[in-house]
A = this chain, B = another copy of it.
Amino acid sequence: MTAYPKMTAQERKAEYARVCKTFEEEKAKGLCLNMARGKPGKAQLDLVSDMFQLMQRPEDYVSDGIDVRNYGELSGLPAAKRLFAEILGCKPEQVFVGGNASLQLMYDTISKAYTHGLLHSERPWCKEPVVKWLCPAPGYDRHFKVTESFGFELITIPMTDEGPDMDAVEAAIQDPAVKGMWNVPKYSNPDGIIYSDATIRRIASMKPAAPDFLLMWDNAYCIHEFEGEYVEFPDILSACAAYGNADMVFEFASTSKVTLPGAGISCFACSEANMAYMERLLTVQVISFDKVNQQRHVLYLKDKAHTLELMRKHAAIMAPKFRCVVDALDREIAPLEIASWRRPKGGYFVSLNAMPGTAKRTLALCKEAGVTMTGAGATFPYGKDPEDSNIRIAPSLPPVEELEQAIDVLCTCLKMAALEKLGV
């Protein structure tokens, strides 16, 4: 197959007619498939549902002498702190264990900065004339939405193969109105990039003009390899502390994609000084999170080694799905030279860059054929991809047989949109 850009107008016309016919056939199937969100599939949910057989015996309700069923322990069960600390490589006393959603802990950290200020804030951010925020992009749409909802001015930072473009970051943080930055440092959403050691060093040693600069470190995929062995990753808390930036960072993690997305547990980790400050604010807001579920997770996951064993079982479900997506792209799209994509080894997404100016059209066509994808532009601040190119593929939810159909549709739509762009 000739690459589309190298085709003559006539060849393109003929190809377009063929592709349109395929599209109509696919459309006629009346599909209803979803690759929009990083949602685990049913096989993954079934994999862990034996966790509800725990918490039967009276001794299961007691953890370090605490009756997990009653009020108390604002910052979580000590045993749950130890579990997250081992996984993240930080200290248990740096961990606050929350409810079922790390997104809520992230939102709350920023909300607290806005309403009350952080430890080193001169005033609450709602009293600042303007707050600016760094968004490595492509990135996670929900992150960007949180900071957008507080009226922050979002600044796009390009992603490189090693993480955010640190030259751009170091220039931006000279502005004291720049108050923070989003990060998904391991298997970034959607690119699947692992921040390099050099990038992490430059981040940890930043000297932002804002005294209360907030490094949001969403370690969402810290143990989420689906190909190859577990990859060790540096503890950002001690890295920041080594450069005198102990209070700059809040790290987040959850078991949403370890146990259950609707019913896991989450945590944030930060310096002891930040912890004391946040607990003083949080004690006004909540008596305690669900410690029964924390205890259920402690009993079920046990420790890091045992958790990594479970992650290998998730990997066995996830890997064929990712292979299905990437193989189809290699086979159908690579020869056409109309898109590029990464081959992640962990995380929940495949990030595809279509021919500039074709992402919106591609996804509109997908929708028409019954395949729901993450909205075009979603991976950029304000939902606006300046190139109209990036497409986030989330292969985790559909079973492989559905995924095969969905990716076929996507390939067809990529072709149609590219041909239209090139002229037919």
Q: Chain A residues in contact with chain B, CB under 8 A?
A: 37, 39-40, 42, 45-46, 49, 52-53, 55-56, 58, 61, 67-72, 99-101, 103-104, 107-108, 111, 114-116, 124, 126-127, 142, 145-146, 149-150, 256, 260-263, 281, 284-293
In contact, B40 and A61 (Cβ under 8 angstroms): no
In contact, A261 and B69 (Cβ under 8 angstroms): yes
In contact, A281 and B126 (Cβ under 8 angstroms): no
- Contact sample, A vs B, 21 pairs, CB 8 Å cutoff: A39-B70, A42-B67, A46-B58, A49-B61, A68-B262, A69-B263, A70-B261, A70-B262, A71-B256, A71-B262, A99-B290, A100-B289, A100-B290, A101-B287, A103-B286, A104-B285, A111-B111, A111-B115, A114-B115, A115-B115, A146-B285
Complex-state Cα separation, A108 to B146, whole angstroms: 15
* Contact pick for A71, options B39, B68, B107, CB 8 Å: B39
Q: How many copies does the complex hold?
A: 2
- Which 6 residue pairs across A and B have the least CB separation, nearest first? A263-B292, A126-B126, A107-B285, A52-B55, A100-B290, A45-B69
* Contact pick for A293, options B40, B53, B293, CB 8 Å: B293
Complex-state Cα separation, A328 to B49, whole angstroms: 50
Measured between beta carbons, the chain B residues less than 8 angstroms from A104 are 285-286
A40 closest partner in B (C-beta) = B70
Complex-state Cα separation, A214 to B61, whole angstroms: 39
Measured between beta carbons, the chain B residues less than 8 angstroms from A116 are 149
In contact, B281 and A149 (Cβ under 8 angstroms): yes
Measured between beta carbons, the chain B residues less than 8 angstroms from A291 are 262-263
Closest CB-CB distance, A199 to chain B, in whole Å? 28
Closest CB-CB distance, A416 to chain B, in whole Å? 31
Complex-state Cα separation, A114 to B115, whole angstroms: 8
In contact, A100 and B103 (Cβ under 8 angstroms): no
Closest CB-CB distance, A114 to chain B, in whole Å? 6
Measured between beta carbons, the chain B residues less than 8 angstroms from A284 are 107, 142, 145-146, 149
In contact, A69 and B292 (Cβ under 8 angstroms): no
A260 closest partner in B (C-beta) = B69
Closest CB-CB distance, A291 to chain B, in whole Å? 5
A126 closest partner in B (C-beta) = B126
In contact, A71 and B149 (Cβ under 8 angstroms): no
In contact, B72 and A262 (Cβ under 8 angstroms): yes
Closest CB-CB distance, A323 to chain B, in whole Å? 23
Measured between beta carbons, the chain B residues less than 8 angstroms from A99 are 99-100, 289-290
